[in-house]
Structure 1
């Protein structure tokens, strides 16, 4: 039997595309996610769409706000699993681990936003739970922020550090083209 891999698409919601989200990297991330999503759908492999639902009133991800909706070009099909989360980690109080185990899915490919928050948090847990994880570097993105010492860091610097934090210990890092060749 062919080894299937689940594609985990994290927080690709309308609110992530708003200019108020801040300076970001990987402007081609959405296009790369679409290419991977299309490949997964053609193979009939499992896709999980993760949606952040904020507990903070006024957040663009508050229930009922347009920012909480999936980006239309990445919206789930009726046959695809949707996980709602309230914290960065998609495994916390979501049933995701059980859903994957019931389907004997041990290999995960993670894409989405933001590399330094929900992606990193979810991937660390997945690795700790024993899943084999690949993070697609050019199908993830993050935002600029200040480091703990108050030094401004570009989105590209934050992204690179998050990938370095994950590589080898929690996941392998790959490109969209590497993933598509692998399929």
Structure 2
């Protein structure tokens, strides 16, 4: 499958606050380089870019009053057609309305990247699939953090990313691939 000429790149929550040590151990040190490669490819092809920022309403590095709310510099400087802010996991519940904008532009194919793999990227991918969009997820253009669940069960960031990739791909919410595989389709 090739990329549509108007496939939208949606860059989710690439914010400075995720560098805060309170998040714990992260995976995929290549994420930022891969997001940069995607942004460069989209700029060169003229395809639309959407930037998404999480505006936490809690005391968090992502709160709008905190310096960590800002997008990382290379993302903030990227040419884009739409800037969405949100307070929940899904970019489809942000402002302005992402689905309305995609539909107005006739966009059916979306490419997701950013932070966190198993949180906002996953939720946006699932909703995108449920809304009928063709979702592509270059998993190596995302990262997440170790996480503890019920009963003290702890999964590493790599385990969470793998589980997310299997669930999204196997559940047919998204096609999960690498950045290199995606860019071969451009």
TM-score by length of 1: 0.94
Instruction: Select 1:146's aligned residue among 148, 155, 160.
Output: 148
Greater percentage in helix: 2
Q: 1:123 to 1:8 in 2, by over 3 A?
A: same
Gaps of 5+ in 2: none
What is the aligned partner in structure 2 of residue 28 from structure 1? 30
Gaps of 5+ in 1: none
Find out whether 1:101 has 2:103 as its counterpart. yes
Find out whether 1:182 has 2:185 as its counterpart. yes
2-structure distance, mates of 1:121, 1:136: 15
Contact 2:50-2:80 within 8 A present in 1 as well:
no
Find out whether 1:54 has 2:56 as its counterpart. yes
Bigger Cα displacement from structure 2, 77-86 vs 93-102: 77-86
Contact 1:49-1:76 within 8 A present in 2 as well:
no
How many equivalent residue pairs? 181
What is the aligned partner in structure 1 of residue 115 from structure 2? 113
1-structure distance, mates of 2:109, 2:82: 16
1:47-87 alpha-carbon deviations (Å, 9 max, x no partner)? 0000000111x211111311100100111546431100000
What is the aligned partner in structure 2 of residue 167 from structure 1? 169
TM-score by length of 2: 0.92
2-structure distance, mates of 1:181, 1:96: 27
Q: 1:100 to 1:11 in 2, by over 3 A?
A: same
